[in-house]
Amino acid sequence: MRLMRPSGENRTDDDDALLRAVAQGDAAALAALYDRHAGWLFARLSRRCADPETVREVLQDTFVTAWRSAGAHRGGQAGGWLWVIAARRLVDAQRAEARTERATLAEQAEGTGWSAVAPSAEERVLAGLEYADVGAALDRISPELREVLRATVIDGLTTRETAQLLGIPEGTVKTRAMRARRELRAALDRLTPGGEPLGGMA
């Protein structure tokens, strides 16, 4: 598989034209976009995940998502947009795998009489961002702050990747992330007075 990375003004213009065609349902344009970007996406995903089967599944899911959401592309380099999708899909895949492993360990523990493996502090924080008090607190902060917090904390994206995903400057991502943490802590205080600070939110 050849490693190809988008570069140059002509390549960017071509990518934009391909994405517009994909948004209109042009399967040939999607194939061309795949040929242009799949190689370097595979290589970059492989640096984050040692399982080639998972990488292949994530890559396929990335282009399925691109097919479905090309119309929502807000400009910027197509490669960056595709990488943000791929990074999110990889996080989803790794979390699903971790949940499966925990369930397997729990079943084995039941069969042997051992106690189940307790989730790590990070896992408890990430789970809390979707459920219980923290989920309710998230609903109380403004949507633009909530989407930054979800991208950077739940999806594990970098500041640059979040900026590309949301179509805002990196400085705005940093500012909103700080404000989001302050508002989330305040919302949590209202929901659980006297509670301990949430790990990773300080």
pLDDT digits (tens, 9 = 90+) for 103-154: 776 666 666 555 444 544 444 444 444 444 555 666 778 888 888 877 777 6
The pLDDT of 147-176, averaged and rounded, is: 81
The pLDDT of 69-97, averaged and rounded, is: 83
d(Cα 56, Cα 151) in Å, to the nearest integer?
23
d(Cα 19, Cα 30) in Å, to the nearest integer?
8
The pLDDT of 63-85, averaged and rounded, is: 85
| Sign of the Cα pseudo-torsion (182, 184, 187, 192, in order) | negative
d(Cα 150, Cα 135) in Å, to the nearest integer?
11
pLDDT number for residue 63:
95
Torsional class of 192: left (φ above 0), alpha (ψ -120 to 50), beta (otherwise): beta
Q: Give 84-95 pLDDT, tens digit per residue.
A: 889 888 888 888
Structure tokens at 69: 């959401």
pLDDT band at 61 (very low <50, low <70, confident <90, very high): very high
Which residues neighbour 118 within 8 Å (Cβ) at sequence distance 6 or greater? Answer: none
Which residues neighbour 114 within 8 Å (Cβ) at sequence distance 6 or greater? Answer: 108
Q: What's the pTM value of the predicted model, to 2 decimals?
A: 0.51
d(Cα 83, Cα 18) in Å, to the nearest integer?
16
Structure tokens at 129: 């961002």
The answer to whether 78 and 6 are in contact (CB under 8 A) is yes
